Amino acid sequence: MSAQQTIHVGGEWRAAASGSARDILDPADATVFASVAEGGAEDADAAVAAARTAFDQGEWPRTPVAERAAVLRRVADLLQRNREALGQLESRDAGKTVEEGRIDVDCVSDAFRYFADLVVNESGGRVVDAGSPDIHSFVVHEPVGVCALITPWNYPLLQASWKIAPALAAGNTFVIKPSEITPLSTVELIQLLEEAGLPAGVANIVTGPGHTVGARLAEHPDVDLVSFTGGLASGTKVMRAAADSVKKVALELGGKNPNVVFADACESDEGFDTAVDQALNAAFIHSGQVCSAGSRLIIEESLRERFVGELARRAERIRLGRGTDEGVECGPLVSAQQLARTEDYVASALAEGAVLRSGGQRPEGDEYAEGYFYRPTVLDQCHRGMRVVREEIFGPVLTVETFRTEDEAVALANDTEYGLAGAVWTADQGRARRVAGRLRHGTVWINDFHPYLPQAEWGGFGKSGIGRELGPAGLAEYREAKHVYQNLAPRPVRWFKG
């Protein structure tokens, strides 16, 4: 495979039909370090045709579950074999630290193993009691068909695996379109699927932009399901495009996630240190480019000054740099566009009355001059009327709001059009359960932030999307239920007398 043959259709690597290519930039210094095929609608059509043939005429949908699971486990083993190289690639492509890249590879391996185990250990169907010994009635689950998988730039390998693993476990074929900004690790994953023994045509990839490749996949009449992870505006376009062919749609569209801290969580020095540390992690891991980032700190008024002061002090000390460099804690933003977007949000917040406690600008120094770096930023005295509080930024920006009562805390946390994730920090176990129960978010952490499990569903309420990834429901997204009713003693009904 040459550098620009990153489109994989029917088991063959090829360049774009148009011959176009795209440079991939290192976000740490804006230099070109790779080139990929810039596919278009013609490439998308070819990939869908290959996936359609592989599903309708190929062996994979009819391959025994144990054999499908074995392929998924081999993929997990190959991921671990290539862990260091993939971690380095994810770091350089997306800007995150290399340790985050390594952790992503581990999480991807876990997802493949989880879905392999899930399909092997589940029952073969559900018997339905029809009320007669002469009737054998049962419900089975079958693959939905050809799946279009569209993934974002912030967690390229991880988000690809959350779609690919359950799609394959269920017996589907697919076409994946990774983000045109960070496609490299997904290309590597397709190669590992090949190496693991996946039949030709089951896994297809088209590298290219969303407005051509993604749009064509979403509207394509031979696609049975489209699963999209990304921004709200793009997600609504995907949903509209899918409507004409009435295909299944799964959307994960991000969030504006509250991190609610009650004063009683910080009564001890250890509790205070932990809550501050976790607030930093919630907001600034991967420079805040996380759909579940805890970018809204909602803190009890009596704790505010002490907590925010220490938070800002530690935020100032976060070490920025190239993600592959030793000791770096936070890498660059993924692109010049994302950097400009972050700067715009901070400027609007300050204009609307927010108080800057840390960050708020690009770092100084020659090592940062060409890259897309932005200092971790804490904005105090924020309120719901500000854009920076309402809208998803995808940058290292934390806003601070305060409350006096439990009801006020819950109201603030739920006052968002999104509903992906949130957290509550308290030493009162009764309060923890009450608040967690009242939060309208798909994942709620108590005295923690960010962990997820492949066994537990991931997704959100409201405009955070439709459907779930991971867990049994994540597998169900890629299946259709079929009721089979067998009459063991057929005889005339005699409804019509003639």
- pLDDT of residue 154 exceeding 90, the answer is yes
The average confidence (pLDDT) of the chain is 97
Rounded Cα gap, residues 347 and 389, in angstroms: 13
Q: Residue 123 above 80 pLDDT?
A: no
> 395: pLDDT confidence band, cut at 50, 70 and 90?
very high
Mean pLDDT of 50-57: 98
Is residue 2 scored above 80 in pLDDT?
no
Residue pair 416/391 in contact by the 8 Å Cβ criterion = no
* Cα gap 295→283, rounded to integer Å: 5
Q: In terms of Cα–Cα distance, which of 396, 352, 355 is closest to 376?
A: 396
pLDDT tens digits for range 241-296: 999 999 999 999 989 999 999 999 999 999 999 999 999 999 999 999 999 999 99
**Average pLDDT of 220-243?**
96
Residue 230's pLDDT band, with cuts at 50, 70 and 90, is very high
Q: What average pLDDT does this structure show over 409-425?
A: 98
What phi, psi does 355 have (nearest 5°)? -110, 125
Between strands 397-403 and 377-380, the pairing is parallel
Instruction: Taking the CA atoms of 265, 266, 270 and 275 in sequence, report the sign of the dihedral they define.
Output: positive
What per-residue confidence (pLDDT) applies to 3? 66
* Beta strands across the sheet bearing 377-380: 355-358, 377-380, 397-403, 296-300, 258-261, 421-425, 443-446
pTM reported for the whole predicted model: 0.96
* Nearest-angstrom CA–CA distance, 242 and 245: 6
CA 213 to centroid of chain Cα atoms? 19
Helix, coil or strand: residue 320: strand
pLDDT tens track for 434-485? 999 999 999 999 999 999 999 999 999 999 999 999 999 999 999 999 999 9
Catalytic residues: 252, 291
Q: Which phi and psi (to 5°) does residue 32 adopt? A: -80, 130
Distance CA 365, CA 127 (A): 68
Q: How far is CA 87 from CA 98, 162, 187, 208, in A?
A: 6, 17, 14, 23
Classify burial at 484, counting beta carbons within 10 Å of its beta carbon; exposed 0-12, middle 13-18, buried 19 or more: exposed
**Average pLDDT rounded to a whole number, residues 401-425:** 98
Confidence at residue 386, expressed as pLDDT on a 0 to 100 scale: 97
In the structure, what pLDDT confidence band is assigned to residue 165 with cuts at 50, 70 and 90? very high
Torsion sign over Cα 94, 95, 100, 102: positive
The sign one gets for the Cα dihedral 371, 152, 193, 12 is negative
Q: How confident is the model at residue 83 (pLDDT cuts 50, 70, 90)?
A: very high
CA distances from 353 to 378, 403, 454 (A): 13, 18, 41
Query: Structure tokens of 177?
Result: 């379109």
Q: Within 13 A of 462's CA, how many CA atoms are on the CB side?
A: 17
- Does the pLDDT value for residue 498 go beyond 90? no
Q: What does the DSSP assignment read for 446-494?
A: ES--S---TTS-B--SGGGEES-BSHHHHHHTTEEEEEEEEESS-----
The pLDDT, as a whole number, for residue 1 is 56
pLDDT band at 125 (very low <50, low <70, confident <90, very high): confident
pLDDT tens-digit map of 351-369: 999 999 999 999 999 999 9
